[in-house]
Amino acid sequence: MALKILVAGGFGVGKTTLVGAVSEIKPLRTEEALSAAGEPVDDTAGVEQKTTTTVAMDFGRITVREGLVLYLFGTPGQDRFWFLWDELAQGALGAVVLADTRRLEDCFAAVDYFERRGIPFAVAVNCFEGARSFPAEAVRDALDLDEHVPVVACDARERESAKEVLIAVVEHALRRSAEARASEPVPAP
């Protein structure tokens, strides 16, 4: 069984890093160098060291157990590439919204996107060096998330940490699916 998971979030939050850290294959990356032409539209505040950006998607794969494979699709984080999200989201079981507490507002668009489309998601707070740490409930409140949405801390560079995020998303999506099936009316005989 193959399941599709999206990895979304703002510009420079670590989506490419997370997909690369957990993928068992060499990840496909569509990164291009930031250029002077993009300066008017690329907000690099808070990520001044960033020199590249994803222009289409990242792709990776991880086998969770025999017979269960996750295909990971990292979305581009900049507004000008959001038109790709609808294509990438087709058939997705769930999503990770990667967040940076120094720029939490950058993940609002991803949260809104998945809420509007009814795609189960978890918020993974990428623990950047020097970033202030907040309890999950504080992040949940700041993002105005429903209580059922998982909020987990992670280090997108670490394979085990990234795997824990993916497990949280899959478990959440499966719970939501089971709840939806349980609430369906039983057809009359």
146 assigned to some structural domain: yes
CA angle 161–137–128, rounded 5-degree value: 40
- pLDDT score, position 41: 58
Helix (H) or strand (E) holding 109: helix 108-117
- pLDDT score, position 69: 92
DSSP string, 56-95: EEEEEEEEEETTEEEEEEEPP-SGGGGGGHHHHHTT-SEE
**CB-side exposure of 2: number of CA atoms within 13 Å?**
7
- pLDDT score, position 10: 85
- pLDDT score, position 70: 93
pTM, rounded to two decimals: 0.83
Q: Chunk the chain into consecutive blocks of 10 residues (it has 189) and report each block's average pLDDT, rounded to whole numbers.
A: 91 88 81 60 60 67 88 80 81 94 89 95 89 89 94 94 94 88 76
20 assigned to some structural domain: yes
Which residues touch 109 (CB under 8 Å, ≥6 apart)?
Answer: 10, 79, 82
- pLDDT score, position 47: 59
- pLDDT score, position 5: 95
Contact 29, 58 (CB under 8 A): yes
Using alpha carbons, list the distances in angstroms from residue 181 to 35, 58, 64, 186.
49, 32, 24, 10
- pLDDT score, position 108: 93
77 assigned to some structural domain: yes
- pLDDT score, position 180: 81
Which CATH number is 83's domain given?
Answer: 3.40.50.300
83 assigned to some structural domain: yes
63 assigned to some structural domain: yes
Q: CA–CA separation, 157 vs 67, rounded Å?
A: 26
- pLDDT score, position 123: 97
- pLDDT score, position 40: 55
188 assigned to some structural domain: no
Give the distance from CA 62 to its chain's centroid.
15
Residue range of the domain that includes 20: 2-183
125 assigned to some structural domain: yes
189 assigned to some structural domain: no
